Amino acid sequence: MSKIKFTSNVPVFSLFVLLLVVVHVFCNIVVTEHEHVHCTHEHPREDQVIRGVHIEPAHIVKKRSIDQPLRISIVYDHSVYRLEPEKFDMINNTILPDAVKFWEQALKVRKTGGPIRLNRKCPTRQVFVRGGRSHCIDSCSAETMCGEVRVPENHLNPCYVCNSTGHNCRALPRLKTRSFDEDVSTELNDNTLSNDTQVSSFEEEEVEPEGVEDTDFVLYVSAVETERCRRGLTVAYASHCQQESALDRPVAGHANFCPGELSTKYRDLPSVLSTVKHEMLHALGFSVSLFAFYRDDDGEPLTPRRPDTGNPPLDEELQIHKWSDRVVRNVTRKRWMIRGGYIDRTFHMVVTPRVVKEVRDHFNCSELEGAELEDQGGDGTALTHWEKRVFENEAMTGTHTQNSVFSRITFAMLEDTGWYRADYEHAAPLDWGRGLGCQFAMASCKQWLNAQRLRRKNPAPFCERIKGNPLRTECSPRRTAVVLCNLVRHDTILPRAYQHFDVLPNVPPGDEAHYGGSVSLADYCPYLQEFTWKHKSVLVRGSRCVYEENTPKTDVNFALENYGQHSKCFDHSDRVWEQKSCRQIREWQHWGSGCYKYKCESGRLHIIVGNYTYTCYHAGQVLQVRIIKKGWLHKGGVVCPPCKEMCAEEFASRREYCKVGEEALPPNLYPNDVLTCGVPALSPAAILLSSAILLSVLRVL
């Protein structure tokens, strides 16, 4: 049992009790949830992708087992070197190496038996395949682009051409590759060659170009402020640009960093890194433009190929290849509950075998048909991400809101491309919706909210507390952060399918149609979200318990919170926190939960508030806090969660158990600091202290 102090050494100072005033303190700090920037993975159009990159014949590739750890080669475009030094440094030394390493460790491919030599772009769409190689008609384009980047000459195959009837196929003589130089290389077009170059540059005999050795994927990286960068708050975007011929695996792709949106702030690193990993995955296979090329475990296409083109059917309008329903299927739900009734809703679901298994396991719902794809956000977001409502903080959803993780479900998707094996050890646990069953995974959020209300159970991860002033915070389901319900009033009436409330407290009838979560991609379902405190648009602190720097400054730390390692979120009791000096009482208008250190000892959970350790004897017990700090008496309550929830794991490793309240609660359960205010007998120290407090009051007010 830890020792409990019952007295305090804090100096007690005296002023007239008559001067007491009650002040309601609203924080002068603005709360914002994280920005909702949609990923716009504008899938490459048909004419931006080159297929049929010959590395080895299909019958050889198919027989290989998938056991080669993925090797990604990064190739910089000039523009990367023009970045400001800190930005270059961050990309070159942190972001790219970390992101590349993550996928290299997480994924395996079939060994690539030779260097990757990319195909040249043809001026026409039609190509002839001869001896496993693509041939352009008559000539190749002067340059071959991969996204914003021009592919270096020495990464390219010779220019293979046939005449327009598919005869007379040959490799055009290749220009000697001088030391590669982008600026002069436009001259490599036959038409613009001077006599001089022609004479000196043709190779005497055919030499194989170098290609890129010892690699499975070439990523061309640029950093140009493109139109797409300016359109949103896009940090980076990426896609594949070439696929090999045997199994259609993407072997080259491109990523562009948007210099203007790139933050080098330490705090933003995790989200930039997560974005770059996310973008790389679009290039490696998670893209609507690749669904039609996915293959089964035997390397056979999941979508039948057209005999004439050898490719899956092309959707002319969207310029992408259409997939079969072995990859993505339409699933219609009858009786999808919304405000005032039911509708039919149709969803696109990934139905490949591993994905189906993983989502069923995740939600504990054996009837779930597959993993739902995003249907909002337009081209670039829809279909090419997981549905935000269903997979909230999964990193492959279309917008980053909090704590994003690459889960087993995304890893399963990569395996179901037929190109990769994933090491699930590198997947991160996804808490959202875990084990909540079909009633969560197959129903609307309105239906889930209703059902939980009837069962008198917590509706988490959805929520129904309107975000307002005063703020009422809550704890994230795993107690890792103080969170807010993002339910707000929208200016416009939400589309009918996204209206989730028949009634809301203090909302006039009819006005409910304006209320919904703040994240549109999540179908406006309200859910618990981490947030940041801002003051005059400067970020003051975040709401994650684990970061020490999130602890409020002393003069505003009314609930005596303490962030850092081994700190978790605990609910406050229903009473407003009060801070009392001899002159003033402050009632804090926003409260609800806070981060505190805790320990698991002697079969019990202990929560540390201020300098006191409080012992929890049963779940729901309210720890009455009365602590004097810097002349202020802090009064409030912290609610004990079940010991098992907090300590079961830690105890299990020590063969200990949570005690069930078999002993009587001790008398003097809670330490109780007393604020003594008497007739002035002020010591100089006390005068200094009280004036300091007044100053701090003024600052807060």
Ligand X SMILES: *[C@@H]1O[C@H](CO)[C@@H](O)[C@H](O)[C@H]1NC(C)=O
Q: Which residues of the chain form contacts with Zn ion (CB under 5 A)? A: 39, 41
Q: 304 is in the binding site of which of Zn ion, ligand X, none (Cβ under 5 to 8 A by kind)?
A: none
Quote the least distance from Cβ 421 to ligand X, whole Å: 27
Quote the least distance from Cβ 289 to Zn ion, whole Å: 12
Quote the least distance from Cβ 404 to Zn ion, whole Å: 11
312 exposure class (CB count in 10 Å sphere: 0-12, 13-18, 19+): buried
DSSP string, 385-445: SB-HHHHTTBTTBSB--SS-B--HHHHHHHHTTTS-EE-GGGPPPP-TTTT--HHHHTS-H
User: What is the rounded CA–CA span in Å between residue 85 and residue 89?
Assistant: 6
- Compute and round to an integer the Cα radius of gyration of the chain: 31
User: What is the rounded CA–CA span in Å between residue 556 and residue 538?
Assistant: 17
Tokens 């290749």 correspond to what residue? 174
Quote the least distance from Cβ 298 to Zn ion, whole Å: 30
| 194 or 565: CB nearest ligand X | 194
| 41 or 150: CB nearest Zn ion | 41
User: What is the rounded CA–CA span in Å between residue 97 and residue 248?
Assistant: 26
Pick from 220, 247, 203: nearest CA to 64: 247
Contact 571, 638 (CB under 8 A): yes
Residue type at position 407: S
Q: Could you tell me if residue 544 is left (phi over 0), alpha (psi between -120 and 50 degrees) or otherwise beta?
A: beta
Q: 599 is in the binding site of which of Zn ion, ligand X, none (Cβ under 5 to 8 A by kind)?
A: none
Q: 189 is in the binding site of which of ligand X, Zn ion, none (Cβ under 5 to 8 A by kind)?
A: none
CA atoms lying within 13 Å on the CB side of residue 363 = 25
- The three-point CA angle 429-432-435 to 5° equals 85
Which residues of the shown chain bind ligand X in the complex (CB under 6 A)? 10, 92-93, 97, 163-165, 167-168, 194-195, 330, 346, 364, 435, 437, 611, 629
Q: 330 is in the binding site of which of Zn ion, ligand X, none (Cβ under 5 to 8 A by kind)?
A: ligand X
Q: Could you tell me if residue 669 is left (phi over 0), alpha (psi between -120 and 50 degrees) or otherwise beta?
A: alpha
Q: Which residues is 156 bridged to in the sheet?
A: 118
User: What is the rounded CA–CA span in Å between residue 181 and residue 499?
Assistant: 58
Q: What one-character DSSP code corresponds to residue 38? A: B
| 163 or 186: CB nearest ligand X | 163
Quote the least distance from Cβ 539 to ligand X, whole Å: 28
Q: Which residues contact 670 (CB under 8 A, 6 or more apart)?
A: 614, 623, 624, 625, 626
3-state helix, strand, coil in the chain (%, to 5): 25, 25, 50
| 490 or 670: CB nearest ligand X | 670
| 2 or 164: CB nearest ligand X | 164
Pick from 357, 387, 382, 383: nearest CA to 369: 357
Quote the least distance from Cβ 545 to ligand X, whole Å: 20
Q: 92 is in the binding site of which of ligand X, Zn ion, none (Cβ under 5 to 8 A by kind)?
A: ligand X
Quote the least distance from Cβ 433 to ligand X, whole Å: 12
User: What is the rounded CA–CA span in Å between residue 255 and residue 1?
Assistant: 57
Q: 41 is in the binding site of which of ligand X, Zn ion, none (Cβ under 5 to 8 A by kind)?
A: Zn ion
Of these residues, 56, 244, 279, 394, which one is catalytic? 279
Quote the least distance from Cβ 67 to ligand X, whole Å: 26
Q: 165 is in the binding site of which of Zn ion, ligand X, none (Cβ under 5 to 8 A by kind)?
A: ligand X
| 542 or 594: CB nearest ligand X | 594
Give the residue ranges of DSSP H helices in 207-321: 227-231, 269-284
| 392 or 571: CB nearest Zn ion | 392
| 36 or 629: CB nearest ligand X | 629
Q: 39 is in the binding site of which of ligand X, Zn ion, none (Cβ under 5 to 8 A by kind)?
A: Zn ion
372 included as an active-site residue: no
| 330 or 668: CB nearest ligand X | 330
Pick from 613, 614, 615, 612: nearest CA to 629: 612
> What strands, in cross-sheet order, belong to the sheet with 50-53?
50-53, 236-244, 250-257, 217-222, 72-76
- The three-point CA angle 70-73-75 to 5° equals 160
Residue nearest to Zn ion (CB): 39
Phi, psi angle pair for 640, to nearest 5°: -75, 125
Q: What one-character DSSP code corresponds to residue 94? A: I
Q: 629 is in the binding site of which of Zn ion, ligand X, none (Cβ under 5 to 8 A by kind)?
A: ligand X
Quote the least distance from Cβ 39 to Zn ion, whole Å: 3
| 61 or 373: CB nearest Zn ion | 373
Q: Which residues is 629 bridged to in the sheet?
A: 632
User: What is the rounded CA–CA span in Å between residue 421 and residue 33?
Assistant: 36
Quote the least distance from Cβ 244 to ligand X, whole Å: 27
Note the maximum CA span of the chain: 109
CA atoms lying within 13 Å on the CB side of residue 297 = 5
| 86 or 300: CB nearest ligand X | 86
Quote the least distance from Cβ 558 to Zn ion, whole Å: 40
| 259 or 299: CB nearest ligand X | 259
Pick from 650, 629, 646: nearest CA to 569: 646
Quote the least distance from Cβ 436 to ligand X, whole Å: 8
Q: How far is CA 228 from CA 38, 80, 96, in A?
A: 12, 17, 21
Contact 513, 339 (CB under 8 A): yes
* Positions marked catalytic: 279
